[in-house]
């Protein structure tokens, strides 16, 4: 289907089309500029899709003024397209020709055409159909009739079977064909582009005039990389017996079985282009087979045969490039020398001379590479681990890791290889990320890693992906929202487990996912600049690397070994980490460090020799680098760009060299780089351009210059590139010299641009507003950043932001707005302390909040304060303090007009009164809470309280049917919204219990087993004892006493580990009930009595004495059973309950029945109580009464 545009891209024109794609001129509404968009026509062609993606990815990290800039690769459904720089101009042959030369027509790309199929005829007559752009108004058209002076479009057949063109009767003067000055300049630019491409280990393979365009300003641009290939990549993806490229421009070796292609094939095509420019003819003409066969057996006729006045140097260059032996063809350096651009060379109209370091020279480090290889092999064979590559800034940590990962990529071939590719070695999955100093994302060390992981998983089939995705993916999505792209199901309303539990489960979900991947292919998690990692990232790393680490998982990091200075640390964001910090966090068992020393003298000389042409200052000049690779590179730049630098006196500082380079750049590029430096972290290019006060087109040109000069790097792509400093030293060189007033103004413009973007992390906004002097706005942003961090379970980072708010406001004048912000920050910090189980600190902080909030009558803040205080006191057993705090919270919530907070306070009061055992009061509070929730739609709070209302209704009113209805409603609603904790409470403490009381044991067992499974799934063992207690009682009632005793003991063991204060006495009573051993029974009951004697009345009291009575009755200990009955009826909870009265009366009647013959009066009382039990649904309790009457 043709591309029709999107909400973002508006089609303006169709520029051209080829065998694989169509190119459009479109307006990008997101970026506010025109771009070229290449659309893949045949998405079901696996090789075509592979090449399409490879075309984009090959250039995504390559910048050169004569190579087209690619922007974004986009896939929407089954549509694939990418955007790139719009080049408005003509092809290179039209650019260099004179007024008197005719129209030129030449061949289109033939991809994969079979060289064995002699019926295939390629007529070299298709015009520049794959051109990316033309001057506005010029349309794509069919080839025009060819003048006699132009290249013939008719296939020439030579009787001898050769494809040499016929010799003309009259030669055409070269002045009638080309402008030699323009041709030399254009070819030099093109040679520079090819040289850079080859330095990046890539081969174009389809160089021809249609793929080389020239702008009005004379800038030559190489484009259309649809068949680009890496030099080191095996080319088994191409079918045998086929060739890739345009036959007229293909080198002789491309049509044979001469192994993988080399850079020489591009230089051959360069020679064909030069030949065509000077002669208006191709070196060989004929059928495909004739042309390709003749190339392998014959040299072309010299250009002077066809053209008069050919410069001898250009003819010699042309014939050398067309040599049949690729080893004898000149390479980039020689071509540039012959074109007069050897040594230091200028890039026309774009940048000052720069050393071409695109190939990233690498020397030495054999020992360190060996250690990395051993670590990888051990991870694959024995168990995973972590390797830290440590060293000073610029020492070569990234280069070492890149070299090692390149080895792995060669080993794995290509990620996107079609199905026919065979692999005989493990295929490592490399997931790369980076920490940035000023980045404010939680879990920032893993942010890029997760992006890469999602990208890898999306490529899998749905079936395979479903096998890999963990059960708790939803919780992991809270930490990394990008994972939502993997979910096929519709979003469901779900409540969450407690925050720490949720984070732990999310950590384990990621570990399980990586382990599943590593089970079939090694996984390398690469994280650069770990010194900037946040505490949450370390916790996640520790969870992933807790022994035993999954086999096949290797975490590979780089970290600065030198402590950063104070200004290197982000305000309030914690310490800068060292390798020893990471080792201490992870443990020596799984972590090893590789310290990178400076280069040796021999390695330094080797690197200097590879840094570029024309660099030969005295040895003393290089000694200043002291073996530091980055400084060596910058010294090489200086030596190339600044004549006489070898005589430079005194020591050179890297920051001085960088600053000098920056000052020589055009003003627009300098302004954009200043914005990058002040931003401090990768930032959307659009935001940086606005802050630098540049137009969209100026921003694009400026960033191209900065990429070429290796000042910036593209770290992330979304709707547009994210740009950051290429190295921290570049940022430091600018920031350290900037005037305070200028920096503050730039911070303000960055903040304003970020706010317009509307996707800016609030922590980043906070930093810029604070640096701009806007303290109040900074504090508001930091507060929002803290809330977002807490929502993503990054509690330590949230605490840091809350403290940052307080620090920002430290010198602000007091007032209601300032105090409200400060109180909210303190409250947030107290909540984080509560989550982290630092209750004393949290309570102390609330005292401080209370004083300030009362001064300004901040009712919302006071309501939140009192509610939190109640929640802190509740688990401590301070029920008086808890109830008082929740009562105050309820009052303040009403004053503040916050029904949600009021409902929470009512729930807290209900819980406190329930634990105290005052069931009537508890029921009233739960009832009021539910009524308020239903009035305002607070579903989660309502669901959490439904079961508790049912339980307290049963205790207070013996209304089992109404209580069961509340419990069943709670189970249904909790399951619907995913509120697992509420579901567990409802099944355990309400529905399962009541079904047991009603004698419906099978149904009750299902409820308890379901609750128990949910508790295990949550990782919340504290809920298990309740399920086990009831399962033990059911087994006991069904006569499976040994099983019952085993379940009871298991419950008690788990209870002692997790929740003894909550259900300990209950578990002890069940142990006493089910045990056959008298000593065990007596000890369990004695321990329960001691515990209850030490505390206040509670729900534990009710359960313990009720089950204790049955245990004593079964053992025939009627005297003690009567004491338990008295204790139950005299329940010290402040109210008389029908439930207590019923079970106390039952106990006394059964004791009487067990000690002698039943009198008529006793029989009547037993019968009356049995009837009462059946009426209210207590059929299980009625069984003992039945037995007593039957035995009589």
Residue numbers belonging to the annotated binding site:
38
Cis peptide before 335 (omega within 30 of 0): no
Structural tokens at position 109: 């790309």
DSSP, residue by residue, 991-1053: IHHHHHHTT-HHHHHHHHHHHHHHHHHHT-GGGHHHHHHHHHHHHHHTT-HHHHHHHHHHHHH
CA separation, residue 532 to residues 654, 776, 788, 1114, 1185 (Å)? 22, 27, 20, 66, 71
The count of other CB atoms within 10 Å of the CB of residue 998 is 20
Q: How far is CA 767 from the centre of its chain?
A: 23
In the three-class reduction of DSSP (H, G, I as helix; E, B as strand; rest coil), residue 600 is classed as: coil
Within a 13 Å sphere around the CA of 479, how many CA atoms are in the beta-carbon half? 33
Two structure tokens written together for 165:
């063109």
Distance CA 39, CA 105 (A): 25
What dihedral do alpha carbons 937, 943, 946, 948 form, nearest 10°? -130
The C-alpha atoms of residue 895 and residue 891 are separated, in whole angstroms, by: 6
Q: Which residues contact 1047 (CB under 8 A, 6 or more apart)?
A: 1028, 1031, 1032, 1035, 1074
C-alpha pair distances (Å), 933 with each of 305, 919, 940? 95, 21, 9
Q: Is 260 exposed, middle or buried (0-12, 13-18, 19+ CB in 10 A)?
A: middle
544 and 555 Cβ atoms separated by less than 8 Å? yes
DSSP state of 438: T
**CA–CA distance, 1085 with 1073 (Å, rounded to integer):** 10
What 3-state DSSP class applies to 829? helix
Strand partners, 75: 80
Annotated binding site for ATP: 38
DSSP state of 254: G
Q: Which neighbouring-strand residues pair with 214?
A: 90, 220
Buried-state track 863-892, b at ≥16 Cβ within 10 A, e below 16: bbbbbbbbbbbbeeeebebbbbbbbbbbbb
CA nearest neighbour of 319 among 270, 280, 281: 270
Q: Which helix (H) or strand (E) holds 386?
A: strand 385-391
Measure CA 598 to chain center.
33
Work out the end-to-end distance of the chain between its first and last CA atoms, rounded to an integer number of angstroms: 90
Which residue from 1059, 367, 913 is spatially nearest to 375, judged by alpha carbons?
A: 367
Query: DSSP string of 631-673?
Result: HHHHHHHHHHHSTTGGG--SPPPHHHHHHHHHHTS-HHHHHHH
Listed residue (514, 430, 500, 502) closest to 470, CA to CA: 514
Asked whether 59 and 43 are in contact (CB, 8 A), the reply is: no
- Residue 431 structure tokens: 């997931």
Looking at the chain, the number of H-run helices and the number of E-run strands are: 47, 22
Q: Which residue has the tokens 């709707």?
A: 719
3-state secondary structure of 430: strand
Residue 792: half-sphere exposure toward Cβ, Cα within 13 Å: 23
């Amino acid at each position: 289907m043709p591309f029709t545009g999107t909400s973002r891209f508006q089609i303006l024109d169709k520029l051209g089309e080829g065998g694989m794609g169509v190119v459009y001129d479109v307006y990008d509404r997101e970026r506010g500029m025109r771009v070229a968009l290449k659309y893949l026509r045949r998405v079901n062609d696996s090789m075509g899709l592979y090449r399409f993606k490879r075309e984009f990815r090959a250039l995504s990290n390559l910048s050169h003024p004569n190579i087209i800039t690619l922007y974004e690769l986009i896939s929407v459904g089954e549509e694939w397209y990418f955007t790139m720089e719009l080049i408005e101009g003509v092809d290179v042959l039209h650019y260099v020709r004179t007024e008197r030369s005719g129209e030129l027509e030449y061949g289109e790309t033939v991809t994969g055409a079979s060289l064995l199929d002699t019926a295939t005829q390629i007529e070299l007559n298709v015009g520049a159909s794959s051109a990316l752009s033309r001057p506005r108004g010029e349309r794509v058209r069919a080839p025009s009739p060819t003048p006699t002076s132009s290249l013939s479009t008719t296939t020439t057949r030579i009787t001898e079977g050769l494809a040499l063109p016929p010799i003309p009767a009259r030669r055409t003067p070269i002045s009638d064909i080309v402008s030699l000055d323009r041709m030399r300049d254009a070819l030099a630019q093109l040679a520079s582009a090819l040289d850079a491409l080859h330095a990046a280990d890539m081969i174009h393979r389809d160089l021809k005039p249609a793929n080389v365009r020239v702008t009005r300003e004379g800038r030559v641009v190489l484009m259309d990389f649809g068949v680009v290939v890496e030099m080191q990549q095996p080319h088994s993806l191409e079918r045998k017996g086929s060739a890739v490229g345009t036959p007229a421009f293909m080198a002789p070796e491309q049509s044979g079985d001469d192994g993988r292609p080399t850079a020489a094939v591009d230089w051959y095509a360069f020679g064909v282009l030069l030949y065509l420019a000077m002669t208006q003819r191709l070196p060989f003409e004929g059928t495909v087979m004739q042309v390709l066969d003749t190339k392998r057996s014959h040299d072309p006729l010299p250009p002077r045969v066809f053209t008069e006045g050919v410069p001898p140097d250009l003819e010699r260059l042309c014939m050398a490039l067309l040599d049949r032996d690729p080893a004898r063809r000149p390479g980039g350096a020689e071509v540039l020398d012959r074109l007069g651009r050897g040594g230091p060379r200028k890039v026309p109209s774009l940048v000052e001379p720069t050393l071409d370091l695109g190939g990233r020279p690498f020397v030495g480090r054999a020992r360190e590479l060996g250690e990395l290889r051993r670590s990888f092999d051990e991870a694959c064979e024995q168990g995973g681990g972590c390797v830290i590559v440590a060293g000073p800034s610029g020492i070569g940590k990234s280069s070492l890791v890149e070299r090692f990962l390149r080895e792995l990529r060669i080993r794995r071939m290509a990620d996107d290889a079609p199905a026919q590719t065979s692999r005989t070695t493990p295929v490592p999955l490399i997931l790369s990320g980076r920490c940035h100093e000023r980045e404010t994302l939680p879990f920032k060390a893993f942010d890029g890693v997760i992006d890469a992981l999602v990208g890898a998983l999306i490529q899998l089939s749905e079936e395979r992906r479903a096998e890999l995705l963990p059960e708790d993916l939803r919780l992991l999505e809270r930490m990394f929202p990008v994972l939502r792209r993997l979910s096929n199901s519709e979003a469901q309303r779900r409540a969450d487990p407690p925050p720490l539990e949720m984070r732990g489960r999310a950590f384990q979900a990621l570990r399980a996912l990586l382990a599943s991947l590593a089970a079939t292919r090694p996984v390398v998690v690469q994280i650069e600049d770990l010194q900037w990692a946040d505490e949450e990232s370390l916790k996640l790393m520790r969870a992933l690397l807790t022994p035993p680490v999954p086999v096949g998982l290797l975490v590979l990091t780089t970290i600065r070994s030198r402590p950063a200075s104070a200004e290197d640390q982000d305000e309030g964001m914690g310490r800068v980490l060292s390798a020893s910090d990471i080792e201490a966090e992870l443990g020596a068992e799984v972590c090893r460090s590789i310290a990178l020393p400076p280069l040796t003298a021999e390695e330094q000389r080797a690197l200097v020799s590879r840094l570029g042409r024309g660099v030969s200052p005295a040895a003393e000049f290089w000694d200043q680098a002291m073996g530091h690779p980055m400084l060596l590179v910058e010294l090489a730049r200086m030596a190339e760009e600044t004549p006489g630098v070898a005589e430079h006196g005194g020591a050179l500082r890297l920051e001085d060299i960088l600053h000098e380079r920056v000052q020589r750049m055009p003003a627009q590029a300098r302004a954009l780089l200043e914005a990058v430096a002040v931003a401090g972290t990768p930032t959307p290019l659009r935001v940086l351009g606005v802050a630098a006060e540049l137009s969209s087109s100026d921003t694009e040109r400026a960033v191209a210059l900065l990429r070429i000069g290796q000042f910036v790097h593209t770290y992330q792509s979304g709707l547009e590139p994210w740009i950051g400093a290429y190295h921290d030293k570049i940022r430091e060189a600018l920031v350290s010299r900037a005037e305070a007033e200028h920096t503050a103004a730039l911070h303000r413009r960055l903040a304003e641009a970020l706010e317009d973007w509307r996707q800016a992390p609030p922590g980043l906004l906070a930093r810029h507003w604070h640096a701009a002097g806007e303290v109040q706005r900074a504090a508001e942003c930091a507060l929002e950043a803290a809330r977002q961090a807490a929502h993503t379970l990054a509690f330590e980072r949230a605490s840091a932001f809350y403290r940052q708010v307080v620090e920002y406001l430290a010198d602000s004048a007091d007032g209601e707005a300032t105090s409200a912000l400060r109180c909210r920050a303190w409250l947030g910090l107290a909540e984080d302390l509560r989550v982290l189980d630092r209750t004393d600190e949290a309570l102390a902080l609330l005292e401080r909040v209370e004083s300030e909030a009362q001064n300004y009558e901040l009712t919302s803040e006071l309501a939140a304060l009192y509610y939190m205080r109640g929640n802190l006191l509740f688990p401590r057993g301070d029920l008086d303090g808890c109830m008082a705090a929740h009562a105050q919270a309820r009052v303040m919530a009403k004053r503040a007009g916050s029904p949600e907070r009021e409902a929470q306070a009512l729930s807290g009061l209900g819980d406190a009164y329930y634990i105290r055992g005052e069931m009537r009061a508890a029921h009233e509070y739960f009832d009021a809470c539910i009524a308020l929730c239903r009035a305002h739609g607070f579903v989660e709070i309502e669901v959490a309280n439904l079961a508790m209302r049912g339980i307290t209704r049963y205790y207070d009113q013996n209304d089992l049917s109404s209580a069961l209805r509340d419990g069943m409603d709670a189970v249904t609603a909790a399951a619907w919204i995913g509120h697992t904790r509420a579901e567990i409470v409802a099944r355990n403490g309400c529905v399962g219990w009541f079904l047991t009381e009603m004698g419906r044991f099978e149904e009750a067992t299902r409820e308890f087993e379901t609750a128990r499974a949910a508790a295990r799934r949550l990782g919340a063992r504290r809920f298990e004892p309740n399920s086990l207690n009831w399962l033990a009682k059911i087994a006991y009632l069904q006569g499976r006493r040994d099983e019952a005793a085993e379940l009871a003991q298991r419950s008690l063991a788990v209870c002692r580990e997790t929740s003894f204060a909550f259900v300990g006495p209950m578990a002890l009573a069940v142990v006493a009930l089910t045990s056959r051993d008298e000593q065990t029974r007596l000890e369990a009951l004695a321990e329960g009595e001691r515990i209850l004697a030490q505390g206040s009345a509670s729900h534990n009291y009710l359960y313990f004495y009720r089950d204790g009575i049955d245990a004593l009755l079964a053992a025939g200990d009627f005297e003690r059973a009567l004491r338990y009955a008295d204790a139950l009826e005299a329940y010290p909870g402040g109210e008389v309950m029908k439930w207590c009265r019923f079970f106390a009366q039952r106990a006394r009647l059964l004791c009487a029945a067990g000690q002698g013959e039943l009198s008529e009066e006793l029989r009547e009382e037993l019968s009356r109580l049995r009837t009462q039990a059946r009426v209210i649904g207590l059929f299980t309790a009625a069984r003992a009464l039945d037995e007593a009457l039957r035995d009589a």
